[in-house]
């Protein structure tokens, strides 16, 4: 098997359906790609949808009765996969038609972590529990959907049709996430290039909604850390270990996948808990880059200029 697409999902039935619909439209028609969906303790009708869905690639469905975190879920997918290349693709993503083809093409060079474009967003459903920022972003493009008003009672209101995905008509409705963290990463790509020449923190681009890497490399470094149960940093944690093991990173922003907007699925203290865990785990001079990145906001470090600090430390 050439590749396994790993898709963890939790109570995202309607968005997962659009994800799989996009995979059915892929330009890659080989029989050596499989899709592994991990239902991470969902209480919606995800399992019923999956059992009825006709996918063009072999589909493995793994049901976990209790949500033990996305790291645990992805590990279950990895252990049940057969592909030489793992393509991590979250349930709320919609892939462009050449998504699989381009990820495989990028792995002609061995020992590389391929970071696809991860900051492009799209509204496919309207939810009443959107954040204020999400509502404001939707208001900017509402008329593109032919909507002249919003209802307070809408929840999971469909905004797109299957044919929009099949005909690749979603891109004009998409937008870049305008967020400090994302803007920093864009600036880093401008400074160091897509191959991250002389950049010592490429693991910051290890965002697992659009990322691929050799399966054996992931296994060799210990897979995802299941101790990271709450939201965030489980992908950074894997990226750190892949980078320290000798993997190179490449920013492949031509590999497009759109993130479907949805209500927040984490609590306000999740990131604090996981940052503390990361700092404790990597409390070693060899990993000084990790706590510096994790704590940069709290200690007033410019995240774009962090590379120079880390470089100087490593040259001591």
pLDDT tens figures, 174-203: 999 888 889 999 999 999 999 999 999 999
Residue 49 predicted with pLDDT over 70: yes
Closest-CA residue to 10 (of 68, 88, 81, 56): 68
Confidence of residue 152 (pLDDT cuts 50, 70, 90): low
pLDDT at 75 (0 to 100): 98
pLDDT for residue 300: 63
Residues 6 or more apart whose CB falls under 8 angstroms from that of 198 comprise: 192, 311
For 211-269, what is each residue's pLDDT tens digit? Answer: 999 999 999 999 999 999 888 889 999 999 999 999 999 999 999 999 999 988 777 78
Average pLDDT over the chain reads: 92
- Tokens at residue 282, please? 């990597």
Distance (Å, whole) CA 124 – CA 127 = 10
Query: pLDDT tens digits, residue range 67-106?
Result: 999 999 999 999 999 999 999 999 999 999 999 999 999 9
Cα–Cα distance measured from residue 69 to residue 72, given in angstroms and rounded to the nearest whole number: 6
What are the boundaries of each domain within the chain?
Answer: 3-120+176-267
Topology of domain 3-120+176-267 in CATH is Spore Coat Polysaccharide Biosynthesis Protein SpsA; Chain A (3.90.550)
Q: What is the mean pLDDT of residues 135-160?
A: 80
């Amino acid at each position: 098997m050439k590749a396994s697409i790993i898709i963890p999902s939790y109570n995202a039935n309607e968005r997962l359906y659009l994800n799989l619909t996009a995979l059915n439209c892929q330009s890659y028609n080989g029989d050596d790609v499989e899709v592994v969906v991990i239902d991470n303790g969902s209480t919606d009708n995800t399992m019923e949808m999956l059992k009825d869905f006709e996918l063009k690639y072999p589909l493995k469905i793994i049901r976990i009765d209790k949500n033990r975190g996305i790291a645990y879920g992805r590990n279950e997918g990895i252990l049940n996969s057969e592909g030489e290349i793992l393509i991590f693709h979250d349930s709320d993503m919609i892939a462009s038609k050449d998504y699989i083809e381009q990820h495989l093409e990028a792995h002609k060079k061995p020992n590389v972590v391929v970071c696809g474009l991860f900051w492009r967003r799209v509204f496919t459903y309207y939810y009443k529990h959107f954040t204020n920022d999400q509502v404001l972003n939707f208001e900017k493009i509402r008329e593109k959907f032919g909507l002249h008003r919003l209802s307070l009672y809408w929840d999971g209101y469909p905004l797109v049709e299957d044919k929009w995905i099949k005909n690749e008509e979603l891109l004009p409705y998409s937008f870049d996430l305008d967020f400090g963290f994302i803007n920093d990463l864009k600036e880093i790509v401008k400074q160091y290039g897509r191959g991250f020449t002389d950049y010592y923190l490429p693991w910051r681009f290890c965002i697992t909604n659009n990322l691929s890497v050799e399966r054996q490399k992931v296994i060799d470094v210990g897979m995802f850390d299941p101790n990271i149960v709450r939201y965030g940093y489980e992908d950074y944690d894997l990226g750190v270990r892949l980078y320290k093991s000798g993997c190179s990173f490449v920013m492949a922003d031509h590999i497009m996948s759109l993130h479907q907007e949805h209500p927040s699925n984490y609590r306000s203290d999740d990131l604090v808990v996981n940052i503390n865990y990361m700092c404790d785990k990597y409390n070693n001079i060899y990993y000084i880059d990790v706590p510096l990145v994790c704590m940069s906001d709290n200690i007033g470090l410019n995240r774009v200029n962090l590379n120079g600090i880390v470089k100087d430390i490593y040259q001591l």
